[in-house]
Chains A and B, each alone.
Chain A
Amino acid sequence: MATVATSLRRHSNVREQLSERVVAVFLVGATLVGLLALVVLLVTVARSGAGQIDVPFLRNFASRIPERAGIWPPLVGTLWLMGLVTLFSFPVGVGAAIYLEEFAPKNRITSVIETNIANLAAVPSIIYGLLGLAVFYRALEMGRSLLTGALTLTLLVLPVIIISSREALRAVPRSHRLGAMALGATKLEAVYKTVLPSAVPGIMTGTILGLSRAIGETAPLLVAGAAAFVAFTPDNLLDAYSALPVQIFDWVRRPQPEFQALAAAAILVLLGVLLTMNSIAILIRNRYDRKTR
């Protein structure tokens, strides 16, 4: 009897206990590395850049003299890109998602489109830059314009928007569609009166997250002809432009510590833009969650 009782005690198998502990500590430690890296990254950027941000920095144009350099043209360029990419990619992406999720017949064409989108999502962003360079810049003669950049980024985010919108549509119970159609709604009516309203928060969050990734992209813009130095802010689609990540890249490459600090400041502004977008996404999600539940 006594031996059975003691064998249930914790210290009965010290070695196993110990290895349990060691592994658990290792796993927690590994998880913390990722979190710690993010914190250190943010602190590094903030310590160097926070002091640089003031109104002249936001309103000035690029300059070879660090004290006079500012980010006004790239900031405006990034906001332009954001608007244009949203305008182009949102309707097409959501439309494609609705087609594939609600209307597409199960046939070869559909499966080709689906495989194709999955593959596009995995194509490196720089390849989209080459696409923009060859097609928009050269073949369609749009040059180093805002339009070239916006279309390039649009193609880049389309797969992301399509995939996340499809997930949002799929999350709407099938019984809503059937219920609507049993009441005599056409398929289209069922989709835009019951399915879409329920899927909007998911679609919006997915789209905004996709867009925020596009806004942080540098390589495709560089390859498709964004400029680091622009002496004016763009005011039409065919103007040359710069964008925050491009400006950051230009400064990071310079050895002088002053330019590194400017890069850090510009990074903070870029992260601020991204943070705003993500907050909007979260806000939308929470608001709709309360409304529908």
Chain B
Amino acid sequence: MQATATRTGLRSQRKRPVQRLVRVALFLCAGLSVMVTGGIIYALAADTISFFKDVEPASFFLSADWAPQSGDFGVLELVFGTAIISLGAMLVAGPLGVATAIYLSEYANPRVRKVIKPILEVLAGVPTVVFGYFALNFVTPSLLRAVYPGCGIFNWASAAIVVGLFILPTVASLSEDAMRSVPTSLRHGAYGLGASKLRVSARVVAPAALSGIVAAIILGMSRAVGETMAVAIAAGATPQIAVNPCESIQTMTAYIVQVAGGEASTGSIQYGSIFALGSTLFLITLALNYVSIRFVKRFREAY
């Protein structure tokens, strides 16, 4: 028995301590991400809690009067700003993004698609501060004032338009993925019945990909909600509920940048307010992403 064991030598292995060490190191790399989440929650929670010791949560969440200098922290004015920008951006990116996706997935030939997709990716890679510049130096003076000359230089319409352009590639590319994963057999089935391309796209592909498209739009929405620089530059810094698209507003993100960029002293209520806003923002985007993932899952189950 002993002799055979030596001959085959199946046990004469090194214990491979390096392998074990590397594995632990790699695990720690992956585990770091959990610590980052912990860090985010810690960072947001600590100051949010102390903020709510000074400010009634009810007066924060239910009042629409944001005037930190005079001690009024009614977040609804900022929430309105964030919501109107996101909806406006969606008005731009939703139809354009889905139309682009339909064109790329159903109409364009592969060579055209190969050219257009990377260009759209470049659009998505433009830093948002550049979109702010674009809003201020082109969208407002050359587009909006061509329609309505009295438009203020800081207005929410221009911000919504550039944020829409910024999220357009996200919506287009995710929707296109959803449409392209609709099985070809489904399309062929419809073509075989004599349906036109339009019919196939609108009646077969789009409905089949619907939850994927919805997911793309919600994800774009969540990007718009978190978008900061373009809005901080283009929409100005006037917390108010302004339905007129030519007026200035302020979003939650823009306010955070305004305060953090200035010199609010650590521990002041104003300083605490940006963390309270951060928490609110965090929860809103988390909810939107959750909904988006649910839609994607539904889509995956279908195919």
Contacts and interface: CB of A to CB of B under 8 A. Distances in A.
A231 to B, nearest CB: 18
Interface in A204-237: 209, 212-213, 216-219, 222-225
A34 B171 CA distance: 12
A272 B225 CA distance: 28
Interface residues of B, number: 84
A77 interface: no
B103 A27 contact: yes
Given A124-B281, A131-B40, A95 B25 contact: yes
Given A119-B37, A219-B257, A252 B132 contact: yes
Contacts of A133: 43, 260
Interface residues of A, number: 82
Contact of B233 (A100, A129, A249, A274): A249
Most chain B CB within 10 A, of A41, A100, A113, A267, is at: A41
A66 B278 CA distance: 35
Nearest to B234: A252
Given A31-B103, A37-B123, A99-B29, A127 B129 contact: no
A216 to B, nearest CB: 3
A75 B136 CA distance: 24
A24 B31 CA distance: 49
A124 B196 CA distance: 42
A129 B125 CA distance: 20
Interface in B158-216: 165, 168-169, 172, 196-198, 202
A253 B243 CA distance: 24
B196 A20 contact: yes
Interface stretch (A155-163, A169-177, A193-201): A155-163
Contacts of A93: 29
A119 B36 CA distance: 11
A271 B122 CA distance: 11
Contact of B222 (A122, A217, A245): A122
Contact of A130 (B95, B266, B275): B275
Interface string A22-63: 011011101101110110110011001000000000000000
Interface string B24-38: 011111111110110
A38 B96 CA distance: 14
A209 B32 CA distance: 22
A45 B33 CA distance: 38
Interface string A99-124: 11001100000001100111110111
Interface stretch (B15-23, B58-66, B68-76): B15-23
B150 interface: no
A285 to B, nearest CB: 12
Nearest to A92: B29
Contacts of A178: none
Most chain B CB within 10 A, of A128, A213, A216, is at: A216
Given A120-B36, A155-B36, A252-B133, A104 B30 contact: yes
Interface in B100-135: 100, 102-104, 107-108, 116, 119-120, 122-123, 125-134
Given A134-B43, A218-B229, A35 B119 contact: yes
Nearest to B46: A134
6 contacts: A95-B25, A124-B281, A130-B43, A223-B256, A223-B257, A267-B129
Interface of A: 16, 19-20, 23-24, 26-28, 30-31, 33-35, 37-38, 40-41, 44-45, 48, 91-93, 95-96, 98-100, 103-104, 112-113, 116-120, 122-131, 133-135, 138, 155, 158-159, 162, 186-188, 209, 212-213, 216-219, 222-225, 245, 248-249, 252-253, 260, 263-264, 267, 270-271, 274, 278
